């Protein structure tokens, strides 16, 4: 279901307000001075649309930092003579705690939307993760064509932004006094249809204006990074071990790159014993820590930092394209913002290019 519409600027808040009646409305709000945080929207007029990147990425609404999965209440059966009994777990004793809230996430950036398609492949195709899948079904994303990229953004070289051709539910372009609304999914269409009296069909000038926004947005990027080139360098073994050693030496082991990245999927599962029962929770984890791959008996196959930092890059640049058909990076620039060691995707790509070019010249 495709469609293109125009929404008057004055009608946006009405539309969102109506949507909020059936879904939790999440959007970008300003806090602590200049921070952008995605949270439940109380006052719709406080939404900030021309905003810098938020931390962490909106993946937190599909794959949250802390997620209660289930609770089980073990039944204590008396011990019988034959040594039977003890703790039993019946079906009934297990309670599903997965989140069923319907949400609409408004004001998401294009890069984060393009990350979803790979996340879907990872979490839904093949082995289906019910927690992710349910949240995904219940969440509608309304993305905004980026007209204010951060200096750290580089989606433009990757085709993951600043605007999208497909893969979105609803994409909006800010044309000043009105929005150009594009529909990319069934759920998106339903939402627009329900309020169809707010929308009109676009005219020629609307298309022209939209095109102009696309152009001006593209012109605002500071960075252009060719990840394919970097991938080739690695595949051709032009990147030496001492480079990875240097990278590893600067890692603070904070995990921020993984936590913040819209395409990282590491998690751990742990049980918590409350008096009412045992709760199983899933938490964000990161492959940047040595204990992530600890084996029984305490062996740490990735004890050396260099193995972990290097693996992160190999995963994003080599393994992801092989297994999921796209880079494990959409150029959102969050790792650049968050990495205390400045060994994020963009910095490393820039540095590698410099290094290898220099060597070739010599």
Choose the one of other proteins, ligand SF4, none that binds residue 272, judging by a C-beta under 5 to 8 angstroms depending on kind: other proteins
Which of 207, 319 has the CB closer to ligand SF4?
A: 319
Please provide the size of the chain in residues. Answer: 362
**Segment near other proteins (CB under 8 A); pick from 107-115, 251-259, 306-314, 352-360:** 251-259
**Per-residue binding letters, 233-272, with ligand SF4 (x by CB under 6 A):** ------------------xxxxxxx--xxxx---------
**According to the binding rule CB under 8 A, does residue 273 interact with other proteins?**
yes
| Residue 35, C-beta contacts closer than 8 angstroms, at least 6 positions apart | none
Q: What's the rounded Cα separation, in Å, for the pair 330 and 164? A: 12
Q: What's the rounded Cα separation, in Å, for the pair 66 and 95? A: 17
Q: What's the rounded Cα separation, in Å, for the pair 284 and 280? A: 14
Q: Do the Cβ atoms of 147 and 174 come closer than 8 Å?
A: yes
Choose the one of ligand SF4, other proteins, none that binds residue 105, judging by a C-beta under 5 to 8 angstroms depending on kind: none
Sign (positive or negative) of CA dihedral 8, 13, 15, 16: positive
Choose the one of ligand SF4, other proteins, none that binds residue 343, judging by a C-beta under 5 to 8 angstroms depending on kind: ligand SF4
**According to the binding rule CB under 8 A, does residue 294 interact with other proteins?**
yes
**According to the binding rule CB under 8 A, does residue 250 interact with other proteins?**
yes
Residue of the chain from 2, 9, 17, 39 that contacts other proteins (CB under 8 A): 39
> What is the phi-psi region of residue 89: left when phi exceeds 0, alpha when psi lies from -120 to 50, beta otherwise?
beta
**According to the binding rule CB under 8 A, does residue 205 interact with other proteins?**
no
Smallest distance, other proteins to C-beta of residue 275, A: 8
**Per-residue binding letters, 42-81, with other proteins (x by CB under 8 A):** ----------x--xx---xx--xxxx--------------
Smallest distance, other proteins to C-beta of residue 118, A: 22
**Per-residue binding letters, 293-332, with ligand SF4 (x by CB under 6 A):** ----------------x------x------------xxxx
| Residue 205, C-beta contacts closer than 8 angstroms, at least 6 positions apart | none
Q: What's the rounded Cα separation, in Å, for the pair 161 and 142? A: 14
Residue of the chain from 21, 32, 82, 215 that contacts other proteins (CB under 8 A): 32
Which of 181, 305 has the CB closer to ligand SF4?
A: 305
**According to the binding rule CB under 8 A, does residue 96 interact with other proteins?**
no
Other CB atoms within 10 A of residue 55 CB: 16
| Residue 197, C-beta contacts closer than 8 angstroms, at least 6 positions apart | none
Sequence-distant contacts of 129-137: CB under 8 A, at least 24 apart: 130/98, 131/63, 131/67, 131/69, 131/98, 131/99, 131/282, 132/62, 132/63, 134/98, 134/99, 134/100, 135/61, 135/62, 135/63, 135/98, 135/99, 136/62
Residues that bind other proteins (CB under 8 A): 24, 26, 31-40, 52, 55-56, 60-61, 64-67, 249-250, 252-256, 259, 268, 270, 272-275, 283, 285-286, 289-291, 294, 337-342
Residues that bind ligand SF4 (CB under 6 A): 251-257, 260-263, 288, 309, 316, 329-335, 338-341, 343-345
């Amino acid at each position: 279901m495709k469609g293109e519409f125009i929404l008057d600027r004055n009608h946006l808040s009405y539309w969102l307000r109506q949507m909020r009646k059936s879904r939790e409305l999440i959007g970008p709000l300003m806090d602590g001075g200049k921070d952008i945080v995605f949270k439940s929207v109380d006052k719709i007029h406080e939404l900030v649309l021309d905003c810098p990147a938020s931390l962490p990425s909106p993946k937190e609404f599909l794959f949250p930092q802390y997620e209660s999965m289930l609770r089980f209440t073990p039944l204590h059966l008396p011990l019988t003579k034959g040594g039977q009994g003890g703790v039993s777990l019946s079906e009934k004793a297990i309670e599903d705690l997965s989140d069923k809230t319907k949400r609409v996430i408004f004001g998401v950036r294009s890069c984060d939307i393009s990350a979803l398609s790979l996340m879907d492949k990872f979490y839904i195709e093949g082995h289906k993760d019910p927690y992710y899948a349910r949240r995904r079904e219940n969440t509608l994303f309304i993305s905004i064509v980026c007209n204010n990229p951060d200096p750290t953004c580089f989606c433009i070289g990757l085709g993951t932004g600043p605007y999208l051709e497909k893969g979105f539910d609803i994409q909006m372009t800010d044309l000043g006094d009105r929005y150009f609304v594009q529909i990319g999914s069934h759920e998106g269409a339903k939402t627009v249809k329900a309020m169809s009296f707010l929308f009109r069909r676009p005219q020629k000038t609307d298309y022209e204006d939209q095109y102009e926004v696309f152009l001006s947005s593209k012109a605002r990027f500071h960075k252009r990074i060719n990840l394919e080139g970097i991938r080739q360098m690695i595949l051709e073994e032009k990147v030496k071990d001492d480079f990875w050693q240097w990278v590893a030496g600067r890692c603070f082991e904070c995990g921020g790159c993984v936590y913040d990245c819209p395409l990282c999927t590491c998690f751990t599962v742990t049980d918590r014993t409350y008096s009412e029962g045992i709760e199983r929770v899933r938490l964000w984890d990161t492959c940047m820590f040595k204990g992530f791959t600890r084996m029984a008996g305490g062996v740490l196959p990735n004890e050396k930092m260099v193995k972990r930092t290097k693996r992160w890059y190999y995963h994003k640049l080599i393994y992801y394209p092989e297994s999921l058909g796209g880079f494990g990076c959409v150029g959102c620039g969050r790792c650049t913002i968050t990495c205390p060691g400045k060994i994020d995707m963009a910095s490393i790509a820039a540095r590698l290019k410099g290094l290898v070019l220099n060597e070739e010249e010599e």
